[in-house]
Structure 1
Amino acid sequence: MSLGDISAQTIIEKKDLRHCDLVRTARFGSLGIILIGPVCAQWFRFLASKIGTKGSTVALKKVALDQLCFAPCMMFVFLTTLNTLQRNPWEETKRHIKANYVDIMIANYKVWPAIQLMNFYIIPTYYQLLLVQAVALFWNTYLAWKTARKLD
């Protein structure tokens, strides 16, 4: 997640590496280490144990649960936790969620269902989190940029 934030700052926001907000990067990276990584790893284990690991029906069930249950909840938790780490008051946190949640979920549905379908159908269970993390570099770049923008 830190690399995604640095990418957002240097590539999208066009900051020189020396002028990047390293506190922002550390905050974003901490969120990945403390919350996102462990929760996603547990989620993948849960899906494998409750739904299974092979077959097209299994893959479709996992994608449906992942995208209809986990993703919306996790995005709300992500946005709330990020704003908490930024020490934003609850009213500002609500404004950030209202301003970003729908756009992020629309982007999510453009990216993740296809990735997860391939992941759950083709990729062995042991490597599924690895594929997600590879795609997440680009996803985290988007999230870092989207959540760092100032609200009007």
Structure 2
Amino acid sequence: MGTVLRIYENALRRYPLLTSSIQTSMLMATGDIISQTVIEETSLKKVNLKRTAQFASVGLFLAGPALTTWYRVLAKTFGDKGHTSVVLKKVALDQFVFAPAFIGVFLTALGVVQGKDPQVTVAEVKKNYLDVVISNYKLWPWVQLGNFYLVPLRYQVLVVQLVAILWNTYLSWKTQASDVIKTKDVSTNLVEQ
């Protein structure tokens, strides 16, 4: 295990953006698989791998780079020390500036990678945005208080993404709920006919 940690630590030091993006992608894929198998009760053999890959790609190309860059901006602006006033400023900016904007971009990007019509994507963002933002405020301010106060900068994306396995499960379910309901309705109608 020590060798794996050394390799990870070296990769994080040498290639922070790439390493954080890959780990974010992997953890977002995990959240999607949990959503499909646990919440949506799909058997592991019937997991929609295309959907998982789409979710993972948003992690690789959007969430990982955005979070890594954002945390660096916060550290450069306020410093990397866990003083209470610094932590509170970081959490306030993170939750009242970054999070609302990022949630909108994230939901839009997910619709784009899923190949949805732009009008459908906009309608789904409008439908889901407020619920996701409210759910965000129930979890993330508390996580970020601990993250910014206790965790060194290079590990902050990892900590967020480990907690985000549950968050990504929720996002996957929330953004796919209408598709899952439609599929179940079609299956029920076919059985009844």
Query: TM-score, structure 2 length as denominator?
Result: 0.76
Of structures 1 and 2, the one with the larger relative CO (CA 8 A, separation 6+) is 1
2:88 aligned to 60, 66, 78, which one? 60
Show structure 2 runs of 5+ residues with no match: 1-27, 183-193
Deviation at 1:130, TM superposition (A): 1.7
* Partner of residue 135, structure 2: 107
Query: TM-score, structure 1 length as denominator?
Result: 0.96
CA distance in 2, matches of 1:82, 1:129: 20
- Larger CA Rg, structure 1 vs 2: 2
Identity %, equivalent residues:
49
CA distance in 2, matches of 1:36, 1:125: 16
* Partner of residue 42, structure 2: 15
Tell me whether 1:139 sits opposite 2:161 in the alignment.
no
RMSD of equivalent CA atoms: 1.2
CA distance in 2, matches of 1:29, 1:126: 21
Amino acid at match of 1:36: A
Q: Please give the residue correspondences for 1:4-83 in structure 2 after superposition, counting only pairs within 5 Å.
A: 4-54=31-81, 55-83=83-111
Show structure 1 runs of 5+ residues with no match: none
CA distance in 2, matches of 1:130, 1:150: 30
CA distance in 1, matches of 2:158, 2:80: 16
Deviation at 1:112, TM superposition (A): 0.2
2:113 aligned to 80, 85, 95, which one? 85
Aligned residues: 152
Deviation at 1:116, TM superposition (A): 0.1
Amino acid at match of 2:90: K
Deviation at 1:124, TM superposition (A): 2.1
Deviation at 1:126, TM superposition (A): 2.5
SS in 2 for 1:150: helix
